[in-house]
Amino acid sequence: MARMDLRTMTALVGVAGLAIAGCAGKRGPDVATDSGGQSASGQRLSVEADLRDPTNRTRARAEIAQVGDSIRVKIASAGLAAGAYGAHLHAVGRCEAPTFESAGAHWNPGGQMHGKDNPQGMHKGDLPNLLVGADGQGRFEFTVPDATLTGGGIRTLLDSDGAAIVIHQRPDDYRTDPSGNSGARIACGVLG
């Protein structure tokens, strides 16, 4: 085996360090985005929606982004009365007022029961309650594990009929199937 002199070893260590540094800032081709929220391969990496009430007034804004093998859901409210509201991802990308029943059931690709406190739960579309202060402002950020925005397969949110995000009139009890006793749908936004 040949011996390396100190200069050769230093040069190799330097080259290896540059290679590692170059790789650390890169991600695979499905993660590099263009200005439209899509990956280089055309997959959607983020979507936004205004959640409107039956009078078409915006009550909240949602942003959903692909983060690794999960999706991150952010909701910020504007102008809701103080209180707690159930919030869910729904299986159909339609928001027809006044009841928003057109958004279908919760996104539930695994056929689970409802709620994080249900021993047989939970739907992928089950989200935390939106807590709104006296100033009408409220927000949360929640990660749905093992889910994708696009790409096909059972864990894909934006399938052929799209998806919606809905705010309900009451808090979710995190247990009662199918919607946590959260009451009527008071605001809805189509994703994508």
Q: Is 22 domain-assigned? A: no
Q: Is 19 domain-assigned? A: no
- Rounded distance, CA 37 to CA 71, Å? 14
- Rounded distance, CA 152 to CA 76, Å? 28
Q: What is the pLDDT of residues 35-57, one digit of tens each?
A: 344 443 445 589 999 999 999 99
pLDDT at 118: 85
Q: Is 134 domain-assigned? A: yes
Averaged pLDDT for residues 142-151:
92
Cα 132 to chain centroid, rounded = 20
Quote the number of domains for the chain. Answer: 1
Expressed as residue numbers, the domain containing 74 is 46-191
Q: Is 6 domain-assigned? A: no
CATH of the domain at 73: 2.60.40.200
Q: Is 1 domain-assigned? A: no
Q: Is 174 domain-assigned? A: yes
Q: Is 67 domain-assigned? A: yes
Q: What is the pLDDT of residues 86-131, one digit of tens each?
A: 999 999 999 999 999 999 999 988 888 888 888 887 888 999 999 9
Q: Is 12 domain-assigned? A: no
pLDDT at 44: 58
DSSP for 41-92, written as a single string: TS-B-EEEEEEE-TTS-EEEEEEEEEETTEEEEEEEEESPPSEEE-EEEESS
Mean pLDDT of the chain: 81
pLDDT at 71 over 60: yes
Report if pTM > 0.85: no
